[in-house]
Amino acid sequence: MGIPLAAKRAFKLSTVAFIFSALLLEIIPHPFKCSIATHKFFVEQIVFFVGSFAIFFCWELTHNLHRVLHTKRSVFAPPKGSAAAETNPSEHLLSALEESNPKSLLRYLAYLDLCMVCENNVDTWRRAAFFEESGETYKRVIAVCLRPLEQLASRLGESMSDSTDKPTSLL
C-alpha cells in the first residue's frame, strides 16, 4: 500500500522542516527569544516534528492513493473461463453502473472499465458480450449511459419551466 515509502518521505520532509524552523528561530530576531538550550525549545521542536510528520504522512498516503486510483484499472468482469463469464460476462459491470450511488467511486471505476472495454480490443470476449445477438445487454448499457444526460435534461427543463412561470418585471 505504500506505507513504508510514505513514512520514509514524510520523515525526510519533517526533518527538512525541523532544520529549517530551527534555523529560522536562530536567525530571525524577536523580543521574546528563548535560548536553544532551554527545555521549552526542545519540547516545541519535538511537537513541531511530530505534527509535521503526521501531516506529511497523511499527504503522502493521499498522494499514493490518488496515483493508484488513476492508474490502476478495476475490472468488473468474472474470471475468463468461469461459468459466469460464459453466461453473462457483463452483469457485474452493469450492476455496478445501475445500482451504485451516482457520485460514488464505484460508479466512476465502472464507467472507466466500460470505457476501457469499448476503446481497446484487449478484452474481445467482453466486447462481444455487449453486442450479443439479442441486443439486451447493449440496450442496458445505452440506458445506463444516457441516464445522467436524461437527468440533466429534465432538471434543465424543470428550471426553464419554473423561470417562465414567474413573471418578469422590467425596470
Same-domain status, 64 and 90:
no
**Residue 127 falls inside a structural domain:** yes
**Residue 171 falls inside a structural domain:** no
Residue whose C-alpha cell is 464505484: 106
**Residue 130 falls inside a structural domain:** yes
Asked if 102 and 148 count as a contact pair (C-beta separation under 8 A), the reply is: yes
Asked if 93 and 116 count as a contact pair (C-beta separation under 8 A), the reply is: no
Asked if 99 and 112 count as a contact pair (C-beta separation under 8 A), the reply is: no
pLDDT tens over the chain, length 171 residues: 578 888 999 999 999 998 888 788 778 776 656 555 577 777 888 898 999 999 999 999 888 888 777 766 677 777 676 766 667 777 788 888 888 888 877 888 888 888 888 776 667 777 777 777 788 888 888 888 898 899 899 999 988 887 766 655 544
**Residue 123 falls inside a structural domain:** yes
Asked if 147 and 110 count as a contact pair (C-beta separation under 8 A), the reply is: no
**Domain around 93:** 83-163
- Among 39, 71, 103, give the residue marking a domain's end: 71
Instruction: Count structural domains, the chain.
Output: 2
- Among 71, 95, 116, give the residue marking a domain's end: 71
Same-domain status, 97 and 131:
yes
